[in-house]
Amino acid sequence: MFAQSVLAESNSLYVGDMIFYIISFVILMLLVKKFAWKPVVKMMHDRAEKIANDIDSAEQSRNEASDLATKRQSELQNSRQEAATIIGNAKQSGEKQRSQIVASAQNDAQALKENAEQDAKQARQDALKSAQNDVANLSIEIASKIIHKELNADDQKALIDSYIEGLGKDES
Amino acid sequence: MGGDAFTFKLFGLMFDWTNIISGLIVFAIVFFLLFGLSRKLQMKPKGGQNIIEWIIDFTNGIVRGQMPADEAPHYNFMIFVLFVFVFVSNQFGLLFNISWNGNEILRSPTADPIITMTMAMIVMTLTHFAGVAKNGFGGYLKSFCTPYTAMLPINLFEEFSNFLTLGLRLFGNIYAGELLLKLVAGMAFSHGIPTMIVSLPLEIVWQGFSIFIGSVQAYVFVTLTSVYISSKVSTEE
């Protein structure tokens, strides 16, 4: 059982085996290097590189994101300010317009009032005038009826006018 | 030649059929195992790629643990192939141990001292080459005289004993494992059913232990290899 297993019991050194194993081992190394080692190690190296790149790019996008956030913040601030200015302007112009409108309304009202006063005065004048005429006519009729005497209308009118003028002076 | 073994002669060199056949099969297994594991490589590994990457990381770790960081990458590949080859060789005999006409056909190649000493020789030659390549021939010779010249014989003897122990440790472990397996198997068939019942658990236990021994010895072999290489390349000037 041990005959071929142990060197000491064998009659000669198996030099052939040694050379066979050395050559086979070298061939094995060449084959494994070509078909297994190189692609696998390359893949491992690629992966390590990819992970490093990913970490770098993650860092970069994080920085970009924080930049964008600051930018957004400042822009928000700007637009808020702008909005405040716009509102302020609008308030001012609204105030201005209001005072203008109020002023013009006051003017209009003043003018209307004046017109109305004038109209009223006119009307009073007219009414007085027509009343003078009526009174003159009436008094002529009355007088003519009473005294049966045809009185000159113009003389009568002048008489009554002077009388009414005297009345108006007493009134005012 | 003696007619004691299963040998043939070619070009005036002695060959042993057992070693040639087992060796060829082991070389084929190692190659096709690694070839099969490294197919369909992906950035995101799965299946076989994970296994081969784990083995590579494992052997790279062994080398890195023993050597200066700038030297380690040169020997990663050598240690990787050596580890897989020794590991498969150690386990091979546990799976296939075939005898025919009193001659063994298949067994662990590492259960033969010739083969383990050949592996040890490859390793020791590599360490000496590495020493010369790193420190130059002068530095290489000087490394035998450290720390002082009086240490020269001890250093030389150490080289020789390193070579012997590296090969014989592997051989002894694997050979003893297989021998005991064979003895237990022989016992099982010696007296019919009763011995079979007794032998079966023994065989199972010893097979499990041999798998452990074979793995540990493969690890020890490549670790010592990297230690020897490291001691040659990192000589302090």
Residues of A in contact with B2 (CB under 8 A): 10-12
Q: In this predicted structure, what is the pLDDT of residue B42?
A: 74
Q: B-chain residues within 8 Å CB-CB of A47?
A: 43
- To the nearest whole Å, the CA of A56 is away from the closest chain B CA by 18
Task: Establish whether the linkage from the previous residue to B147 is cis, with ω within 30° of 0.
Answer: yes
A6 within domain boundaries:
no
Structural domain includes residue A30:
yes
- 3-class secondary structure, A3: coil
Q: Is the pLDDT of residue B106 over 70?
A: yes
Lowest mean pLDDT among A15-24, A86-95, B114-123, B218-227: A15-24
Confidence of residue B236 (pLDDT cuts 50, 70, 90): low
Structure tokens at B72: 């380690």
Q: Could you give the CA distance from residue A89 to residue B124 in angstroms, rounded to a whole number?
A: 94
Token pair 């498969």 in the structure block, residue: B88
Q: Residues in chain A with pLDDT < 50?
A: 1-10
Are residues B36 and B28 in contact, defined by beta-carbon separation less than 8 angstroms? no
The beta-carbon neighbor of A6 closest among B38, B78, B113 is: B113
**Cα–Cα–Cα angle for A29, A24, B50, nearest 5°?**
35
CB atoms within 10 A of CB B209: 13
Confidence of residue B2 (pLDDT cuts 50, 70, 90): very low
User: Rounded to a whole number, what is the distance in Å from the CA of A64 to chain B's nearest CA?
Assistant: 28
Percentage with pLDDT > 70 across chain B: 93
Per-residue H/E/C for B60-107? HHHHHHHCCCCCHHHHHHHHHHHHHHHHHHHHHHHHCCEEECCEEEEC
Which amino acid is located at A108 in the chain? Answer: D
Q: Is residue A76 part of a domain?
A: yes
- The burial of B20, by beta-carbon neighbours within 10 Å (0-12 exposed, 13-18 middle, 19 or more buried), is given as buried
Q: In this predicted complex, what is the ipTM?
A: 0.79
Backbone angles phi, psi at B147, to 5 degrees: -70, -25
d(CA B207, CA A117): 133
pLDDT tens-digit map of B3-35: 455 666 677 677 777 778 888 888 888 888 888
- Chain B residues whose CB is inside 8 A of the A9 CB are 4
Evaluate whether B50 touches B43 at the Cβ level (below 8 Å). Answer: no
A143-161, pLDDT tens digit by residue?
Answer: 777 776 566 778 778 888 8
A2 found inside a domain: no
Chain A interface residues (partner B, CB cutoff 8 A): 1, 3-7, 9-22, 24-25, 27-29, 31-33, 35-37, 39-41, 43-44, 46-47, 50
Residue type, A52: A
Q: How many contacts (CB atoms, under 8 Å) link A and B? A: 132
- CA-CA-CA-CA torsion sign (B191, B195, B200, B202): negative
- Phi, psi torsion values for B86, nearest 5 degrees: -65, -40
Q: Give the best residue of B10, B25, B34 to mutate against chain A (max A CB count within 10 A).
A: B34
Test A17 with B20 for CB contact under 8 angstroms: yes
Q: Is residue A7 part of a domain?
A: no
Q: What is the 3 state secondary structure string of chain B?
A: CCCCCCEEEECCEEEEHHHHHHHHHHHHHHHHHHHHHCCCCCCCCCCHHHHHHHHHHHHHHHHHHHCCCCCHHHHHHHHHHHHHHHHHHHHHHHHCCEEECCEEEECCHHHCHHHHHHHHHHHHHHHHHHHHHHHHHHHHHHHHHCCCHHHHHHHHHHHHHHHHHHHHHHHHHHHHHHHHHHHHHHHHCCCCHHHHHHHHHHHHHHHHHHHHHHHHHHHHHHHHHHHHHHHHHCCCC
Q: Which residue among A4, A10, A17 sits closest to B104, beta carbon to beta carbon?
A: A4
What domain range is A148 assigned to? 12-171
Give B173-212 pLDDT, tens digit per residue. Answer: 888 888 888 888 888 887 778 888 888 888 888 888 888 9
Tokens 């050194």 locate to A13
Is A160 domain-assigned?
yes
Cα separation, B164 vs A14, in Å, equals 17
- Tens of pLDDT along B53-99? 888 888 888 888 888 777 778 888 888 888 988 898 888 888 877 77
Mean of pLDDT values over B108-127: 86
Number of domains in chain A: 1
Of the partner residues A5, A13, A32, the one whose CB lies closest to the CB of residue B111? A5
Q: Do B10 and A16 touch (CB under 8 A)?
A: yes
What distance in Å separates the CA atoms of residue B168 and residue B165, rounded to the nearest whole number? 5
Residue A38 maps to a domain: yes
Question: B228, B162 in Cβ contact below 8 A?
Answer: yes
Cβ distance B115 to A17 less than 8 Å, yes or no, reads yes
Tell me if B107 sits within 8 A of A8, measured CB to CB.
no
Is a pLDDT exceeding 50 seen at residue B1? no
Supply the pLDDT for residue B47.
80
Query: How many Å apart are CA B229 and CA B125, to the nearest integer?
Result: 10
Q: What is the dihedral of CA A31, B83, B74, B116, to 10 degrees?
A: -90
For residue B226, with 0-12 CB atoms within 10 Å meaning exposed, 13-18 middle and 19 or more buried, which class applies?
A: buried
Q: How far apart are CA A158 and CA A83, in angstroms?
A: 79
Chain A residues lying within 8 Å of B85, measured CB to CB: 25, 28
Q: Is residue A4 part of a domain?
A: no
Where do we find the tokens 């003696």?
B2
pLDDT averaged over every residue in chain B: 82
- Asked if the Cβ–Cβ distance from A5 to B16 is below 8 Å, we say no
